[in-house]
């Protein structure tokens, strides 16, 4: 691919599989040095090896975003190895499924600890470093929070998840406003359904199959459908784009039958 992110250092949370691993490959293929973080160290080490074998710069750092007090140390380790962080892809997330009547406090808390607190404090840690390193001053700081169509759509059985993603969309707006003159663009990317571990069980069920038949194109999205938006929000084009939730969903949430 190209070199639009040459010289940039990107951190991807939740890079051990699914969309995060794909995002890391896309950023690396555009020349960014990539720090892969997640709890499953074996997976991110394997991906770092794959990227290094292609001549890319990559490292793996274990990070549980649900323990926000550990985020600054992990990001310091990344900066020490790769240089100033200029891009954060705030991707780590859990499904948070369960009907509202059955939801336990523990499951709700896990959902919010990961999807809301994890995203919030990773953004905070990255922004502090971008401001301290001069990245922000150069106007190239980029934070891309991975939200979902669930931020704007009522999905039965996903009330905690939808609420967590709506929180991501709103924190994106406020952080963008606070840092608008500080050289950091903060945006959210809201994918529709792509088949990954987060939803694979669901699409095996009758309910999942029925939902798929209601999508206008009768299909799930491909992870590559997100590439153009990801690169737009991570790269130079986003200097005048901030505080936005960009939905890329293959039309899955368009109302109307047929």
State in angstroms the smallest separation of the CB of 7 from ligand NAP.
26
Contacts to ligand NAP from residues 85-124, by CB under 6 A: 91-94, 114
- Rounded distance, CA 192 to CA 198, Å? 13
CB 87 within 8 A of CB 32: yes
Dihedral through CA 140, CA 145, CA 146, CA 152, nearest 10?
-120
Query: In angstroms, how far is CA 86 from the centroid of its own chain?
Result: 15
State in angstroms the smallest separation of the CB of 90 from ligand NAP.
8
Identify the residue among 76, 197, 201, 204 touching ligand NAP (CB under 6 A).
197
CB 144 within 8 A of CB 233: yes
Residue (135 or 150) nearer to ligand NAP, CB? 150
- Rounded distance, CA 162 to CA 151, Å? 5
Residue (14 or 84) nearer to ligand NAP, CB? 14
Q: Interface with ligand NAP includes 42 (CB under 6 A)?
A: no
Q: Interface with ligand NAP includes 14 (CB under 6 A)?
A: yes
Q: Interface with ligand NAP includes 198 (CB under 6 A)?
A: yes
Q: Interface with ligand NAP includes 39 (CB under 6 A)?
A: yes
Contacts to ligand NAP from residues 43-62, by CB under 6 A: 43
- Rounded distance, CA 240 to CA 142, Å? 11
Q: Tokens 């490959």, residue?
A: 25
Residue (76 or 197) nearer to ligand NAP, CB? 197
Taking CB under 6 A as the binding criterion, the range among 49-57, 100-108, 170-178, 194-202 that sits at the site for ligand NAP is 194-202
Q: Which residue among 75, 112, 161, 179 is the active-site one?
A: 161
**DSSP state letter for 224:** G
Strands 58-62 and 87-90: unpaired
Question: In terms of Cα–Cα distance, which of 119, 116, 164, 167 is closest to 143?
Answer: 119
User: Annotated catalytic sites, by residue?
Assistant: 161
Could you list the residues that contact ligand NAP (CB under 6 A)? 13-14, 16-20, 38-40, 43, 63-66, 91-94, 114, 146, 148, 191, 193-194, 196-199
């Amino acid at each position: 691919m190209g070199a639009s992110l040459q010289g940039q250092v990107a951190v991807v949370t939740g890079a051990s599989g699914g969309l995060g691993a794909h995002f890391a490959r896309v950023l690396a293929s555009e020349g960014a040095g990539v720090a892969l973080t997640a709890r499953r160290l074996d997976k991110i080490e394997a991906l770092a090896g794959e990227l290094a074998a292609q001549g890319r710069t990559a490292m793996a750092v274990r990070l549980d975003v649900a323990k926000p007090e550990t985020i600054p140390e992990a990001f310091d380790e990344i900066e020490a190895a790769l240089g100033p962080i200029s891009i954060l892809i705030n991707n780590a997330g859990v499904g948070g499924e369960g009907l509202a009547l059955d939801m336990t406090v523990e499951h709700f808390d896990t959902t919010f600890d990961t999807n809301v607190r994890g995203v919030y404090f990773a953004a905070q840690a990255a922004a502090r470093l971008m401001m301290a390193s001069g990245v922000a001053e150069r106007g190239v700081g980029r934070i891309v929070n991975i939200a979902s169509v669930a931020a704007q759509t009522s999905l039965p059985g996903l009330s905690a998840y939808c609420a967590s993603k709506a929180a991501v969309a709103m924190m994106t707006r406020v952080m963008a406003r606070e840092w608008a003159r500080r050289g950091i663009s903060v945006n959210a990317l809201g994918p529709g359904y792509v088949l990954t571990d987060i939803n694979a069980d669901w699409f095996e069920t009758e309910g999942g199959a029925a939902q798929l038949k209601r999508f206008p194109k009768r299909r799930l999205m491909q992870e590559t459908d997100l590439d153009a938006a990801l690169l737009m929000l991570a790269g130079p084009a986003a200097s005048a784009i901030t505080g936005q939730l960009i939905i890329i969903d293959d039309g899955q949430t368009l109302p109307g039958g047929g």
